[in-house]
Amino acid sequence: MKLPIFKRVNREQFPDDVSWIGNLLYPLNNFFETVYNIFNKNLTFEDNFQSFTKNLQFSTNSSYTTGIWDVISIAIPDTFKNRVSGVIMLQFGPQDTSLTADIQGIYLSWVEDNGQLQINWIGGLADSTIYNMRILVV
């Protein structure tokens, strides 16, 4: 469905001279414009949901595939008033883009602990490799 062209409500549309109509039209038009902009592809996670994004670079150690992992710890901002509901991986890949590793089965395990988001494990990676990752925390 395509949005109609946004039109403002004008005083001229009300032929009766009602003294309070001007006081109503400004907030009404302001609301209409805001809703129109939101539905017109201007809705973002950061503006409309309690969330933040984080870009990370990390390296797996030489014994990663045997289960040894260094926990990644991320400070949760003080403005984040509720507990973390989820961590969504937005972008992921090795720093060296010439690598052709199969990283399809990625599993990200995380916990929230005392104002810290701790990534305990990311499954499906290779030993001794530098990765770039962008996550959305909601």
Asked if 58 and 31 sit in the same domain, the reply is no
Average pLDDT of span 61-79 = 88
More confident: 114 or 43:
114
Asked if 94 and 128 sit in the same domain, the reply is yes
Asked if 55 and 90 sit in the same domain, the reply is yes
Domain, as residue range, for 19: 11-43
Is it the case that residue 113 has pLDDT exceeding 70?
Answer: yes
Q: What's the pLDDT score for residue 21?
A: 83
| pTM greater than 0.75 | no
Asked if 38 and 51 sit in the same domain, the reply is no
Asked if 66 and 124 sit in the same domain, the reply is yes
Asked if 71 and 116 sit in the same domain, the reply is yes
Asked if 25 and 68 sit in the same domain, the reply is no
Counting the structural domains of the chain, the total is: 2
- Cβ burial, residue 47 (10 Å; 0-12/13-18/19+): exposed
Asked if 120 and 62 sit in the same domain, the reply is yes
The two beta strands, 87-94 and 52-59, are: unpaired
